[in-house]
């Protein structure tokens, strides 16, 4: 069965077609998908925190409504991705437990603090912008449920990116203090946003296999370069600057080059020693505790309904 399965799998990948949940797949393919998709889902859930902290402090009702809609979208993206991950056989309460126990990774970017309202702009423009650059190719991932989940997520991300850009544009055209606040937020989020794309290709143990299986379509450095090319143009419209004087387009390689990134900082954040790792995990555990009554009520209701059905 495995031989026939492997032959079918190899054919599907060679044709750049889709693997579906019921198809045979190599255990390593399943495992790397659960790894990446669960981390993606965890990132969406933890990613709600920096922005949620600013909902009550938004400067206008319009901004508050937009920010609430964005945070709700991220929760939905998390649920979408946990559902897609469950099709590979790992239930979401197992995945959630891994997160609560600090055993699961989530995107490094969410371990940085959101210090000012302008950070909501920098997060929307840079973090969601980077997420789009990384996620549009994932719409074509070889695993059906993942690729399909990305289509809707990318549509909502473009709203997130645009509202962030607009916040920065408004501040940049505001008072000198507002412009400075916007510039300060861009200065703080620029490098961490570039590190969302992962380590450099030579330090990326998963890339080669993920690309061979059409999960990852472009390497970490390629997507990072594409993203730098986009924001170095957009930042001019904002009337702001990027905190990197090494940005240049390399005609030979066709890549956008940028200043050195602090990979020691990256590994510290991944090891749980970033600026906000502890508080993000503490908040997640607290929210899980506070939500226990909802889970119990839902379970009791389901139980009653099942008993009624048997009568």
Contact positions vs ligand 3HC (CB under 6 A): 35-36, 39-40, 43-44, 47, 74, 77, 105, 107-108, 127-128, 131, 134, 157, 195-199, 204-207, 210, 216, 220, 270
Q: Please calculate the CA angle 12-15-20 and round it to the nearest 5 degrees.
A: 30
- Residue 248 phi/psi, 5-degree rounding, is -155, 155
Q: How far is CA 260 from CA 25, 93, 200, 280, in A?
A: 39, 39, 11, 27
For ligand 3HC, give the closer residue by CB, 179 or 281: 281
Sign of the torsion angle spanned by Cα atoms 78, 81, 82, 83: positive
Closest distance to ligand 3HC from the beta carbon of 146 (Å): 9
Q: Which is nearer to ligand 3HC, 35 or 162 (CB)?
A: 35
In the chain, which residue ranges form alpha helices assigned H by DSSP?
Answer: 2-14, 27-46, 48-52, 61-86, 92-100, 118-122, 128-135, 144-172, 176-194, 207-212, 220-238, 263-270, 277-290, 292-310
Nearer to ligand 3HC, 8 or 159 (CB): 159
Considering beta carbons, is residue 9 or 112 the nearer one to ligand 3HC? 112
The nearest distance, CB 201 to ligand 3HC, in angstroms, is 8
- Taking the complex as a whole, the smallest distance from the CB of residue 46 to ligand 3HC amounts, in Å, to 9
Nearest CB to ligand 3HC, comparing residues 136 and 179: 136
Smallest distance, ligand 3HC to C-beta of residue 47, A: 4
- Min dist CB 216 to ligand 3HC, Å, is 6
Q: How many CB atoms lie within 10 A of CB 244?
A: 17
């Amino acid at each position: 069965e495995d031989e026939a399965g492997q032959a079918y799998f190899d054919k599907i990948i060679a044709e750049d077609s889709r693997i579906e949940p019921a198809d045979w797949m190599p255990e390593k393919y399943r495992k790397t998908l659960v790894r990446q998709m669960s981390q993606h889902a965890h990132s969406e859930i933890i990613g709600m925190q920096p922005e949620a902290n600013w909902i009550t402090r938004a400067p206008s009702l319009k901004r508050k409504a937009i920010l609430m809609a964005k945070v709700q979208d991220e929760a939905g993206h998390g649920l979408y991705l946990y559902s897609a991950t469950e099709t590979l056989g790992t239930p979401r309460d197992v995945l959630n437990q891994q997160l609560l126990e600090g055993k699961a990774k989530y995107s490094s970017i969410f371990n940085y603090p959101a210090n000012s309202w302008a950070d909501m702009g920098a997060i929307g423009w840079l973090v969601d912008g980077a997420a789009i650059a990384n996620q549009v190719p994932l719409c074509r991932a070889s695993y059906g449920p993942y690729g399909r989940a990305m289509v809707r997520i990318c549509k909502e991300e473009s709203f997130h990116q645009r509202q962030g850009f607009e916040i920065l544009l408004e501040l940049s055209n505001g008072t000198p203090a507002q412009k400075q606040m916007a510039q300060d937020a861009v200065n703080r989020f620029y490098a961490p946003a570039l590190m969302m794309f992962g380590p450099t290709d030579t330090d990326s143990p998963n890339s080669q296999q993920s690309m061979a299986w059409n999960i990852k379509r472009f390497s970490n450095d390629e997507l990072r370069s594409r993203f730098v090319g986009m924001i170095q143009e957009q930042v001019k419209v904002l009337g702001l600057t990027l905190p990197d004087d090494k940005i240049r387009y390399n005609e030979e390689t066709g890549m956008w080059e940028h200043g050195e990134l602090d990979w020691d900082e990256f590994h510290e954040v991944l090891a749980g020693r970033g600026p906000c790792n502890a508080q993000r995990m503490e908040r997640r555990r607290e929210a899980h505790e506070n939500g226990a009554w909802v889970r119990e009520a839902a379970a009791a209701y389901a139980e009653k309904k099942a008993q009624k059905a048997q009568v």
